[in-house]
Amino acid sequence: MLKKVAVFASGNGSNFEALYQAQENGIINIDIELLVCNKKDAYVIERAREKDIEVYLIDYSKEAEEDIENKLVTKLKSLNIDLVLLAGFLKKLGSTLISYCPIINIHPSFLPKYKGLNAIERAFNNQDKEIGVSVHYIDEFLDNGPIILQEGVNVEDKSLEEVYQMVHQLEHQLYIKALQIVLEED
């Protein structure tokens, strides 16, 4: 069944782009209706606007988290959103949103390793031979919740820049694969 999706992202948006392209190519049965972003200069906003996807900007410095979440849930309901995908949204969500619909996140590590920021750098600095990517349902804890898929890439003898590229490429594929699994189960 077609899922109406809101993507939450606050950065470059390469995962947002991968999700959109997979939708357009009929690889996953989703319809991205909304981008939620908390950084007004994020490049992902440009990506959304050029695709005519509505952008919903939030500012955690101006409003209480609970108010933001209540308004967001009203917005999601008005669009009949039934799945939220996090793609580099640098803010932990609260229970109001979490209880509204399933929320899936992508994180560049073999969770539960390297939760939080700068996961790729931390794995690289630890000289890990393999760096992972996890796609998981979220819960109320940071980078936590049931894993849908995990895969790794061998990064031996690679520079940090190469590692970034390799991990991002893996992310773009793994997010789609994980969603195929989720949507098939539905």
* Cβ-based nearer residue to ligand GRF, 3 or 114: 114
> Taking the complex as a whole, how short is the minimal distance between the CB of residue 12 and ligand GRF, in angstroms?
4
Which of these is catalytic: 107, 136, 168, 172?
A: 107
Q: Is 168 a catalytic residue?
A: no
> Taking the complex as a whole, how short is the minimal distance between the CB of residue 66 and ligand GRF, in angstroms?
24
Distance, in Å, from the CA atom of 29 to the CA atom of 1, rounded to the nearest integer, reads 7
User: Can you read off the two tokens belonging to residue 72?
Assistant: 């967001």
> Taking the complex as a whole, how short is the minimal distance between the CB of residue 131 and ligand GRF, in angstroms?
11
Distance, in Å, from the CA atom of 172 to the CA atom of 153, rounded to the nearest integer, reads 13
CA 1 to chain centre: 21
Distance, in Å, from the CA atom of 124 to the CA atom of 132, rounded to the nearest integer, reads 11
- Residues of the shown chain interacting with ligand GRF in the complex, contacts defined by CB under 6 A: 9, 11-16, 87-88, 106-108, 171
* Cβ-based nearer residue to ligand GRF, 128 or 171: 171
* Cβ-based nearer residue to ligand GRF, 88 or 145: 88
* Cβ-based nearer residue to ligand GRF, 3 or 175: 175
Let me know how long the chain is: 186
> Taking the complex as a whole, how short is the minimal distance between the CB of residue 77 and ligand GRF, in angstroms?
25
Of 107, 94, 88, which is closest to residue 38 (Cα–Cα)? 88
- Which residue do the tokens 């899936």 mark? 104
- Which residues are catalytic, by number? 107
